[in-house]
Amino acid sequence: MAPLALESVKYQIQRYGQGREFQLIAADDGSTDGSQEVIRSWVEENRGLFVKTDLLFREENAGICRNYVDALRAVEGERFVKVDGDDLLAPYNVFELTELLSEYDMVCPAFLRFRGAGELVRDCRAYLEVVLQRFIRGGVLRRSVKLGCPLAGTAIYRKSLLTPEVYEFILRFRTVNDRACFQKIITDNRGIRTCYVNRPVILYRMSDSSLSSFSSPSRQLHNREIARLCRVQRESERSPLFRLLLLAQEKSAAFRVSSSGLVRFFRFFSPYFAIMLGLCARHWGAIRRLERELVDGHWQDCAAHYQRMAAEAGAFLRRAGAGKSPENRV
């Protein structure tokens, strides 16, 4: 799906990026499906969009966290945006969000989920954890992130926050790259300034093999990694009470990885969900309004954008294939 992500980057630059200079970093962790060749062809065709291009291609898989850190280290500007190969940037001006870094250290925009060929998930209740970012600040933010909560997954932040200690912390894990990154950044920077923007910056793909599927092996591995993230955090935690909460959150992973819906229900008794419950009780009306604004205000634009990007990606693949011998076409 790399061409979709790349075409959405191209759309942002051509639509909103006039007068700016761009670096493209494409990191591939030893894929065997022809992605590296496709990316090289796309970069060659669109080289004029970028002042610098870095292709970080591995022959053998080194893991998500290693791939992630290598890409972050290659970033040369202070402001950057990350998009995974299965996802794509939404149609809205992402540079309006990067401009907010003049006032904030971290900007947390929303995202919308889609399945298959661009079918947007329109159930407002599916975005509770997204809009809750509007109400998580200060000490609540630090406590939530310590517990491994799925916050700030699409955050845009300053490159200067990425210290060697952050990189080393991320590399202690295999799959929780974003969560480990934000946990270290937020716990090490008590005065960090954040804001939530109720507009999607990413269209996030859901599939049977993705983290969004309870039965996928990647989801089960991810939940075990979240438990380990809590265990590592507990090693450096000074508060006896919070060490106990981290232990409870770590053990709740056993419920999250279960194939039984009944067993998974018990995950709602974890400390993280206690925080969510408290926020929902306090801000229920505003939460429902934000959910509706996010979905109803953007799903049609995003669905149409997906179809445009899919058409552009298909046209590129046909051009790329036309220049190859039949046995080597992408």
pLDDT of 326 higher than 80: no
pLDDT of residue 327: 38
* pLDDT at residue 76, rounded to an integer: 95
Question: Among residues 232, 4, 280, 243, which one has the least CA distance to residue 125?
Answer: 280
Residue 126 C-beta-side C-alpha neighbours within 13 Å:
13
pLDDT for position 229: 87
Contacts of 285 (CB under 8 A, 6+ apart): none
3-state secondary structure of 158: strand
- 66: which 2 tokens? 């290693």
Confidence band of 230 (pLDDT split at 50, 70, 90):
confident
Percent above pLDDT 70 for the chain: 87
pLDDT of residue 93: 98
pLDDT confidence of residue 264? 59
Handedness of CA 45, 77, 201, 117 (dihedral sign): positive
The pLDDT tens digits for 30-72 are 888 888 999 999 999 999 999 999 999 988 888 889 999 999 9
- Which of the 8 DSSP states describes residue 207? -
For residues 262 and 299, the model is more confident at: 299
Average pLDDT over residues 91-104: 96
Write down the domain spans for the chain. 77-308
3-state SS assignment for residue 1: coil
pLDDT of residue 71: 96
* Predicted pLDDT at 330: 39
Which long-range contacts link 231-236 to residues 24+ away (Cβ below 8 Å)?
Answer: 232/172, 233/146, 233/148, 233/183, 233/187
Strand-pair partners of 88: 203
In this prediction, residue 162 has a pLDDT band, given cuts at 50, 70 and 90, of: very high
Partners of 54 in beta bridges? 25
For the stretch 274-305, pLDDT in tens is 888 888 999 999 999 999 999 999 999 999 99
